Structure 1
Amino acid sequence: MVVHALVREDGTVEGGELYRVAGLLGMTDQQVRLCVKRLAAEGRFTVQGRGRRAVLRLSGAAGAGPVHVPEVDFVRHAYRQDAGLEPWDGTWHAFAFAVPESARAARDALRDALTGLGAAPVQGGLYVTPNAIGPYVRARAADLGVPEALTCLTTRDLEVGGAADPAAVAARLWPLPAIAARYEALHALAAAAGAPPAGAAGAGGVGARDGGAGDPDGAVALARAVALAAAFSDAMLPDPLLPPELLPAPWPGTAARAAAAAAWGRLREAAPAGGPRLFRLYAEASEAAPRNPRTDPAPKSG
């Protein structure tokens, strides 16, 4: 996550910057060396030079892209929901499949695709979501060579375990309290992102090794950006992005994403010129939808 977060627009990562930021996040030089070695062995990066003088370059090989990072379209959809631009039409989208044991890998991959898109299992081989993910699911089934095993249907009348109210169904199928807790942690970290460097190194304490000398090379801002990106991913990846109509109110995800967007802006200003493309990608996603004062509070300044 740290290495990918520091990739610049030209596809490179400076070794010195990587070691400095990783140190601020509580990582040892040995951990960084092992990570770089593994990424190179996997073909994700090529490496020129050694240690802090090395330059890593993002590989063009298949599968070389960032891992454990939400897709930009996924993030953009979340901000559009927060702005009230994605109202739910009351339709549930259901998917069922029966893949034989001889194609177990395809069956597991299709299941992972469904849950990755936010669908929840109702019972064996049956998944449901309020979001229109049908095109993505069909495409994945075709890629896996099992399109004939997939059944897709929609309904406005869904009852699960005796629960028929849509919000009650959502509360039964998705772990909303656990997801809300992740967003509360994100909100706390984002709110502190503009504070002066202080505290212990590690999650929530970036800056201890700065020594109080400020941030002349922008490394503290970069370290905080990486920590924020990790918390953002930790909250977003398991979130099915249910429509606001199905969520408890107020939903902490809305305020957390607003705080994160404001923090991105502050950190981007403090980062060195030509900083990581991470700033641009998240800024583009969070700014894709206009702010709705009723659902998306204005970010605090400073």
Structure 2
Amino acid sequence: MVNVHEPADDVRVPRAQVGSSPQHLLATVLGEYLDSSDADLPSAAVIAILREFGISEPSARSALSRLVKRGLIATRGNGRPPVYHLTPWAIARHRTRMRHFLTFGAHPPPWTGAWVQASFSIPSSGQAARHAVRRSLGALGFVGLYDSVWIRPGSDAAPVREALDDLLQHVAGARWSVLHVRFDEESGPHGPASAYDLTSLASAYSDFIGRYADLRVAARDGTLDPAGALVARTSAMDSWRRFADIDPDLPEHLLPQPWPRQRARETFLDIHSALGSLAQARLVEVATPHWPDAASWVTHFQASRDEPTTDSSH
């Protein structure tokens, strides 16, 4: 399905659209390669870019429409065909998210032993509210220690307190509390680490390392062409960004050893750094026939081992 433009030396480039909708893929590409709300982006250029990933024109137009509804992009003027631009809010969001993805795992988190605990009791008639609470707690990084006792590392209790207040204040008979806690035996079998499926997470990191091993070598050796580099770099980012969202970033003494995250991070950074200029060049090449100013605006994030920067041509 994905048009990879066969790279040199028969390197197998992972698919860039694994589990990704065209909308998600477009948001990823725009976040990686466009860093100004002043750039006028013709719809034809977007269609050409998404074609690199095997996305049809109707699906590309649908993705544009959905990102407009989400407020990530907006139309400029009333011309036909339409011209789009990233909103300032989207630029700020992309920069924050890119910094998060590119620095995740660089340093062990400072650890004070503090945890936030959320406990709740909801009558049996409040099944919908119970599901809503669990979804909200999961989105905030909490995990269930027991049925109605959820925890997350750190000391910031304000977000979960606000969420529970909003969700349960009108649920008859519901009770809840938010506490700052410490565990007497953090690393024991009944400690907080037992609430996490660290075995599956370690396996996911190891799978990432194996999946991208050949691509890492190809990126280092310079055997990918620009078209292959664009798809491969996007695939690596799309896979890595999930870890930044699902890994609770527990302190080292609570993790099984050896813990494979650092090897996975090095794999990702080698690919992301080595292929940045090639991917940017391919985007400029495919967009320029529809967007003559593409070379002035298309850029790429370049991560150091600690802090990301934007390598811009303008």
- Give the shorter-chain TM-score range: 0.5 to 0.7
1:187 corresponding residue in structure 2: 209
Structure-2 residue corresponding to 1:32? 60
Q: Does 2:150 match 1:118?
A: no
Unaligned runs of 5+ in 2: 1-23, 170-174, 282-294, 309-314
Alignment deviations for residues 76-101 of structure 1 (CA, whole Å, 9 cap, x no partner): 453222xxxx3544444322234679
Superimposed CA distance per residue, residues 137-174 of structure 1 (whole angstroms, 9 cap, x where no aligned partner): 3455567695x94321312226xxxxx74477455311
Structure 1 Cα separation of the partners of residues 42 and 229 of structure 2: 16
From 26, 33, 49, give the equivalent of 1:3: 26
TM-fit CA distance, 1:239: 1.6
Cα offset, 1:6, TM superposition: 2.5
Match of 2:51 among 10, 15, 23: 23
Q: What residue in structure 2 maps to residue 229 of structure 1?
A: 237
How far does residue 9 in structure 1 lie from its aligned partner after superposition?
1.0
**Count of equivalent residues:** 251
Equivalent residue for 1:269?
277
Larger radius of gyration: 2
Under a length normalisation based on structure 1, what TM-score does the superposition of the two structures give? 0.64
Following superposition of structure 1 onto structure 2, how do residues 104-143 of structure 1 map, counting pairs within 5 Å?
A: 111-138=134-161, 140-141=163-164
Question: CA-atom RMSD, angstroms?
Answer: 4.1
Identity %: 23
Q: 1:155 corresponds to which residue?
A: 182
1:247 maps to 255
1:179 and 1:222 map into 2 onto residues whose CA distance is 27
Where has structure 1 moved over 6 Å in runs of 4 or more? Answer: 99-107, 142-145
Task: Flag the 1:222–1:120 CA change in 2: closer, same or farther, 3 A.
Answer: same
Task: Read off the aligned partner of 1:130 and give its amino acid letter.
Answer: P
Closer/same/farther in 2, CA of residues 47 and 221 from structure 1, 3 Å limit: farther
The alpha carbon displacement at 1:36 in A equals 1.9
Q: Structure 2 vs 1, CA of residues 90 and 38 (structure 1 numbering), >3 Å: closer, same or farther?
A: closer
Unaligned runs of 5+ in 1: 159-163, 197-206, 290-302
- TM-score w.r.t. the length of structure 2 is 0.62
Residues 135 and 150 of structure 1: CA distance in aligned 2, closer, same or farther (over 3 Å): same
Mapped partners of 2:159, 2:252: distance in 1: 22
- Secondary structure (helix, strand or coil) at the match of 1:57 reads strand
User: Is contact 1:93-1:154 (8 Å) kept?
Assistant: yes
